[in-house]
Chains A and B, each alone.
Chain A
Amino acid sequence: MKLNTQLLNDVTAFIWYEADLLDHKGYQEWLQLWSNDGLYIVPAEFDADDNYEDTLNLALDNADMRRMRIARLEDGESVSANATGNTVRMVSRVRLLEAGDDLVIARCAMTLNEMRHGKLVTYPADVEYQLKPAADGYRLARKVVRLMHADSFLRTVSFIF
């Protein structure tokens, strides 16, 4: 098997950049990473099929919902957002699933750690990225975060996966 390591590097660099933005709460820059019709999806079941519109999700954010979600995290009105400590996420196991000219699909593993009221909460997840190549890198067309906790019980979440 021949790996396209150049593309893999480019995609991984983008994913790490996004991860760093989210851990450091660069939310406005994160919004800019999206293509307008993109969807940020956190399914309510780990094995949910991809008919997200006709399924209940934990989050299914179009551009409006993303903007409102970020506003909630930033405007100081939400007591849970204000109480959210730092997050540190690790992303690895990046694999290219599709490498088209118009769309690149990659899958990776993520572990997000949150310090919540003095207790460490850890969320392992399988994350799929659909990326549209753009002049300055990529635009997010879709990000699907499959949480292992989705099949069980989550703690409440006031950050972005």
Chain B
Amino acid sequence: MSELIEMQSVSLKAAEMVEEGRVHKSLYSDPAIFEEELDKVFNNTWVFVGHESEVPEAGSYKTAWVGRQPVILSRDRKMNLHVLQNRCRHRGATVCEGRKGKTKSFTCPYHGWGYGLDGALRALPKPEEYEGVFDKKDFPLERLRHESYQGLVFATYRDDIESLEDFLGGAKKWIDLFMKQGGGYPVKVLGEHRFNFPGNWKIQLENTTDAYHFPIIHKSFVTSLDDHTADIFDFLHGDGFVEDLGNGHSVMVMIPELVDLESDLDQPIPPRFQKLADELRTEGKPENEVKKLVRAAHGTGFNLNLFPNVSCSMAFFRVLRPVSVGETEIQHVALGGEGAPAPFNRKRMRLHEHFQGPMGFGTPDDGEAWERVHKGSQAGNDGWILVNRGLNNLHTSPDGNVAGAVCSETGMRGAYQQYKRMMAAGEEK
């Protein structure tokens, strides 16, 4: 019997480490499980690679990752998007090393093979040695299937899984709401913060719908706010909720008044935004637009966690990349409005700097907690991580989903059930 268990596949073992209200701590630290996750999760689902505003023009590109595999998101001359493996078809060098920018083509530095923005192999030095050996048209940079929703670009190695829209499912409504924070202008990436922490990626995944930690670990951030804003962030006793949206996605609504940024436009201007309102008025913006922009500047009152690697968190995208079982890279992508008044985008960036990124007043404390989770969870040979908070107090949301209190662990449970399904997929007992 025990031999049988020994022979069980690693991914099935990992799947069995996810129970309804707890997950085994080995999921944070077992390198064999990590290797399986890259394959069974990241190579088998839709993975976020960027926002369309990051590649705005013909010739724009950005580099990204699908799990541990480097890819390029590019826009060709006809404005079509492509997601390409960043691997020369000759002997495998990356063909693009910049983070983002503009180019006419991707030229491999090693022997000079040149690829178009759509990945087609266009030219190579001294082609006569290949005559009759192969045809250039058969050796483009390999393309990944990609689809977009509201400008969010996802890619997948699987041609046979559901469409992106079906995968997002119940999350689409929340993405639509999230995109209202351009204040009437299309949402645009303004910049990003990059940091890493010595810990497993799922520790960050859990955090996005963890309201329970906020008043504790982010006390110093709340202290730095004016009283009015501090009140807004005092949401644990409010009417917020966490809803399991299916497919591992979930939403945590912390501030219900800020779910729809295009409603309640007659609210008075909060003190934190008085200066912005004055600047917008100075620019000649009519009062209704001032109110709309000020409300949008807040960001939304919810975090939307999209399994496995991105979230629409209040006012920014959080993108995670699993580097190793004990290291995770995170980007906090700041958002504003394309063509929006400069004071609006400036305010959005200043708010982002205040909390987010490696020098924000919030993120370093999250990072400290995650690092300690990773370290502390290694104590003992056996042990479990609890995700059962609020299991006694579930209800059905108006959309028919399982939901719990704002500080319940409903979102984490949803993500882990998706993880369990994916890790077990295709494994026979």
Structural contact, A156 and B367, CB atoms closer than 8 A: yes
Q: How far is the CA of A58 from the CA of B273 in the complex (A)?
A: 21
Structural contact, B190 and A56, CB atoms closer than 8 A: yes
Does B93 lie at the interface of the complex (its beta carbon under 8 Å from any beta carbon of A)?
no
Residue in A58, A75, A83, A152 whose CB lies within 8 Å of B359: A58
Main secondary structure of the interface of B (DSSP, over half): helix
Given A68-B361, A78-B365, A158-B364, are A152 and B194 neighbors across the interface (CB < 8 Å)?
yes
Residue in B220, B346, B364, B367 whose CB lies within 8 Å of A77: B220
Number of B residues whose C-beta is below 8 Å from A?
37
Structural contact, A80 and B365, CB atoms closer than 8 A: yes
Residues of A within 8 A of B206 (CB): none
Closest beta carbon of chain A to B319's beta carbon, Å:
12
Does A33 lie at the interface of the complex (its beta carbon under 8 Å from any beta carbon of B)?
no
Structural contact, A80 and B367, CB atoms closer than 8 A: yes
Does A155 lie at the interface of the complex (its beta carbon under 8 Å from any beta carbon of B)?
yes
Does B349 lie at the interface of the complex (its beta carbon under 8 Å from any beta carbon of A)?
yes
Does B80 lie at the interface of the complex (its beta carbon under 8 Å from any beta carbon of A)?
no
Main secondary structure of the interface of A (DSSP, over half): mixed
Q: How far is the CA of A65 from the CA of B355 in the complex (A)?
A: 12
Structural contact, A156 and B364, CB atoms closer than 8 A: yes
Residue in A42, A77, A83 whose CB lies within 8 Å of B368: A83
Number of A residues whose C-beta is below 8 Å from B?
31
Does B161 lie at the interface of the complex (its beta carbon under 8 Å from any beta carbon of A)?
no
Does A44 lie at the interface of the complex (its beta carbon under 8 Å from any beta carbon of B)?
yes
- The residue of chain A having its C-beta at the shortest distance from the C-beta of B369 within the complex is A79
Structural contact, B196 and A155, CB atoms closer than 8 A: yes
4 additional A-B residue pairs with CB within 8 Å, beyond A69-B361, A153-B194, A154-B196: A44-B357, A56-B353, A58-B359, A151-B99
Chain A contact residues, CB within 8 Å of chain B: 42, 44, 53-60, 65, 68-69, 71-72, 75, 77-81, 83, 117, 151-158
17 sampled A-B residue pairs with Cβ under 8 A: A44-B193, A44-B357, A56-B190, A58-B193, A58-B357, A72-B224, A75-B220, A75-B223, A79-B217, A81-B220, A81-B364, A151-B99, A153-B194, A153-B195, A155-B197, A156-B197, A156-B359
